[in-house]
Amino acid sequence: MSSNSSFSELALCTELQKTLQKLGYNKPTPIQLKAIPLVLQGDDLLAEAQTGTGKTASFALPIIEKLSKAEPSPDYRQIRALVLAPTRELAIQVADNTLEYGRSLNMRVMSVYGGVRLDNQVRKLKRGADIVVATPGRLLDLLQQKVINLKHLEFLVLDEADRMLDLGFIEPIKKIMEFSAEPRQTLLFSATADESIEILAEFYLNNPKKVKVNPRNSTASQVKQYAYAVDNSDKADVLSYLIKEGKWGQALIFVRTKKRVDEVTDYLKKEGIDAASIHGDKTQRERIRMLGEFTSGELQILVATDVAARGLDIESLPHVVNYDLPNVPEAYVHRIGRTGRAGERGEAISLVAPAEREFLKRIEGLIKQKIKLRPVPSLENGKLVESNASVKPPKKKRSKQKKNLDRYPPQEKYESTLSVKAVRPSLLKK
Ligand code: AMP
């Protein structure tokens, strides 16, 4: 099927076609083109696709199509499809999208995740659901308490399986598999594919068809990537400078630790920037509220640990910042997958302290792409201007010129950068 194919060429019923029209989905994305026919014909699937490629619809649409063909009993609905997701945010997002896709076909969709009261979820589950989207820990709890069962399961989706393994969910997944009815159709989606994913697939998939929409571990092509050489102690200042002088709209800022998330958020607020934070110590209610405000565009800057990396679905997030580079290079791919989504353009900016240069090298190795380390852009005529100067390894001695220079780029250890700016300012102009 060509990239110009329309949804009408996929064997989806009229109700689903109408829903897609209403949602403004004019044509299927590449993963949808590849995956939907295979799921419809009953194959197990091993799909390598990043977040932002439209992968949720690529499994949800054919599952809904197939479930809708068999009439569910009106009074009580057994769980016939289960989607396992690594984070609560992703579970909520996938459930919301699936509910939207299946509304016209009267699909009952529920999400199940930890951090909220169990009894409410139990009560809702008792009313029955066709499709459940769950994080592994809470689902296992419910299964072990015999509140729900998976005896009628026809479809099982492992969404963002690589992330679930990263987060140590292998044991709960194994146990959930033991609770799950067979035969069933199993679909495994992963942004990155490595040996552990292959092993998982070998174990739980039956003769799967493999599909892939992006080169292995590559980043979305519409995302421009910048890396700025910054000292750790200057990062907050540089970030505030970039947001203000770059006249940014919304941005998602990734910071390594919860404590640092709070510090950065406080700093930005003091600078008069509309910022809020989200991390694992926040209550589920706070997290949902912040995500809601950010998704609706009410909140400008969201500062987060990696916990937010998976579940956030904003169609045109213009900036993602790696305030700290992740030490696991795959996390970089997941993080910057938050921008440039569904065909939009985006910028991923990394603030790289001297100690993080090693991480940058590893990231470059993974994505097979060089991300040039540059000085922080300078301010010229009210606009930020990117420099093409390279940043050399930190020198021990300070140069004399340092004292007279602008505060950017940060001064501590990047004399080489500063000298370029001082001696040849024309280099910094476009
Ligand atoms: P996902 O990769 O599932 O997180 O989807 C990323 C975004 O793309 C979501 O906001 C979807 O609503 C949107 N999307 C999915 N499929 C399509 C499509 N065929 N056309 C336009 N937008 C889509």
Atom of ligand 1 nearest to the CA of 27: 19
Atom of ligand 1 nearest to the CA of 97: 12
Residue (of 52, 292, 320) closest to 278 by Cα position: 292
Q: What tokens does 385 get?
A: 């201007």
Residue (of 144, 145, 169) closest to 159 by Cα position: 169
Q: Whose CA is nearest to atom 18 of ligand 1?
A: 25
Burial class (CB in 10 A: 0-12, 13-18, 19+), 394: middle
Atom of ligand 1 nearest to the CA of 53: 2
Per residue in 284-315, pLDDT (tens digit) is 788 878 888 888 888 999 999 887 655 566 66
Per residue in 325-380, pLDDT (tens digit) is 998 888 888 788 777 655 556 889 999 999 999 999 999 988 888 898 999 998 88
Distance CA 283, CA 79 (A): 28
Distance CA 332, CA 322 (A): 8
Per residue in 97-113, pLDDT (tens digit) is 999 999 999 999 999 99
Decide: helix, strand or coil at residue 326: coil
Q: Which amino acid is at 25?
A: Y
At 412 the pLDDT is 30
Which residues form the pocket of ligand 1, taking CB atoms under 6 Å from any ligand atom? 25, 28-29, 32, 51-57, 313, 315, 341-342
Q: Whose CA is nearest to atom 11 of ligand 1?
A: 54
- The alpha carbon of 68 and the centre of ligand 1 are apart by a number of angstroms equal to 22
Distance CA 341, CA 327 (A): 24
Distance CA 256, CA 254 (A): 7
Distance CA 27, CA 31 (A): 11
Residue (of 65, 111, 106) closest to 84 by Cα position: 111
- The alpha carbon of 314 and the centre of ligand 1 are apart by a number of angstroms equal to 10
Atom of ligand 1 nearest to the CA of 313: 10
Q: Is the dihedral of CA 92, 93, 98, 100 positive or negative?
A: positive
Per residue in 370-407, pLDDT (tens digit) is 898 999 998 888 888 888 777 776 655 444 444 333 33
The class of domain 7-212 in CATH terms is alpha beta
DSSP for 259-314?
A: HHHHHHHHHHHHTT--EEEE-TTS-HHHHHHHHHHHHTT--SEEEE-GGGTTT---
Give me the residues paired with residue 352 across strands.
229
At 219 the pLDDT is 55
- The alpha carbon of 17 and the centre of ligand 1 are apart by a number of angstroms equal to 15
pTM as predicted: 0.61
The CATH code that applies to domain 223-413 is: 3.40.50.300
Please state the rounded mean pLDDT for residues 425-429: 28
Residues spanned by CATH 3.40.50.300 within the chain? 7-212, 223-413
Q: What is the 3-class SS of 63-123, one letter each residue?
A: HHHHHHHCCCCCCCCCCCEEEECCCHHHHHHHHHHHHHHHHHHCCCEEEECCCCCHHHHHH
Atom of ligand 1 nearest to the CA of 93: 4
Mutate to test the pocket of ligand 1, among 29, 50, 100 (most ligand atoms within 8 A of CB): 29
Mutate to test the pocket of ligand 1, among 56, 190, 223, 338 (most ligand atoms within 8 A of CB): 56
**319 pLDDT exceeds 70?**
yes
At 284 the pLDDT is 75
